[in-house]
Amino acid sequence: MARKKIALIGAGNIGGTLAHLAALKGLGDIVLFDVVEGVPQGKALDLSQCGPVEGFDAKITGSNDYADIAGADVIIVTAGVARKPGMSRDDLLGINLKVMKAVGEGIKANAPDAFVICITNPLDAMVWALREFSGLPHNKVVGMAGVLDSARFATFLAWEFGVSVKDVNAFVLGGHGDTMVPVTSYTTVSGIPVDDLVKMGKSSKEKIDAIVARTRSGGGEIVGLLKTGSAYYAPATSAIAMAEAYLGDQKRILPAAVHVDGKYGLDGLYVGVPVMIGAGGAEEVIEIALDDEAKQNFQVSVDAVKELLVACRGIDPSLA
């Protein structure tokens, strides 16, 4: 059987880490694409030279030509810029929308059968725009945010309870940003809901509330420390888990930004919900019962995503 092909659009910090992980995990041959000349080629050469040490034969190439992503099975998009000091949200939206347009058209022309995972921020708006520009079916274009947000939540909870991260199953809904909704009633340690652990005296409501707040601003905390960039190891790992779920038809239930039409009272909006990922892409949105507080918080998150889409349509009328 021919090796699978993984195309990474954007060869920056996350793109390079994605390529490293995909090679180590033997997901397939890898193409790193970027608009900057030399960077994808240089990273590809460096990564290829890991092969003899790690024992992988994946072909890793760098390119500035969309023709080289032809036939990709999975495409992970990190192209774009991160918000810099002094840049308004609309400035960022305007820049990354243009990038999504170029990327969407490149995918449409060269790899229309791929499963596409978008990471570029602001995530919920960019994944929607990328789907619009690429014209791919909704189930084949998803956004990576929930796996990362849940991983952040799980990390902090494991530290708080003094347990293995393997036993923490964290649940996060909504948009990627300040309005994300970590749901403690569905978050468990070996099946025991966090709310019950609080009742058992293993932690306090105040401490869990602080962890929820820290999870919500998890990306910002890292930007504050790095100063010149944003998180990339955990975002890359999270997207690779989604790619593996698709390539291996694993039917994993993962939180992801997917097109929700008819569930959660939504009529065609990209937002973070639990979804089954398998060979069909985003195969089924799982609708869970939410208590009043989670429902209210989810609505705030949905409204924030809708507001972003209005701004996108204002910037690029072709999206109207």
Residue placing its CB nearer to ligand APR in the complex, 228 or 318: 228
Burial profile 62-91: b = 16 or more Cβ within 10 angstroms, e = fewer: bbeebebbeebbbbbbbbbebbeeeeeeee
* Site map (CB under 6 A) of ligand APR, residues 67-86, x = contact: -----------xxx-x----
Which segment (157-165, 178-186, 229-237, 267-275) binds ligand APR by CB under 6 A? 229-237
Site of tokens 């749901």: 183
| Residue 121 labelled as part of a binding site | yes
Instruction: Say how many Å lie between the first and final Cα of the chain, rounded.
Output: 43
* Site map (CB under 6 A) of ligand APR, residues 12-51, x = contact: xxxx------------------xxx--x------------
Q: Is 83 helix (H, G, I), strand (E, B) or coil?
A: coil
The set of residues, in sequence order, having a beta carbon less than 8 Å from that of 244 and lying 6+ positions away, is 25, 27, 250
Catalytic residue among 20, 138, 176, 259: 176
List, in sequence order, the alpha helices (H) in the chain: 13-24, 39-48, 51-54, 89-110, 123-134, 146-161, 194-199, 205-216, 218-226, 233-247, 292-315
Q: Which two tokens stand for residue 309?
A: 């889409």
The count of residues interacting with ligand APR (CB under 6 A) is: 25
Residue placing its CB nearer to ligand APR in the complex, 79 or 157: 79
Which segment (116-124, 193-201, 271-279, 293-301) binds ligand APR by CB under 6 A? 116-124
Residues 318 and 320: their CA atoms lie apart, in Å, by: 6
259 is catalytic: no
Task: Give the torsion through C-alpha atoms of 126, 128, 72, 98, to 10 deg.
Answer: -50
User: Does 139 contact ligand APR by CB under 6 A?
Assistant: no
* Site map (CB under 6 A) of ligand APR, residues 94-113, x = contact: -----x--xx----------
| Residue 89 labelled as part of a binding site | yes
Binding site for ligand APR (CB under 6 A): 9-15, 34-36, 39, 78-80, 82, 99, 102-103, 119-121, 229-230, 232, 235
Query: Which residues are identified as catalytic?
Result: 176
State the binding site for NAD(+).
Answer: 10-15, 34, 96, 119-121
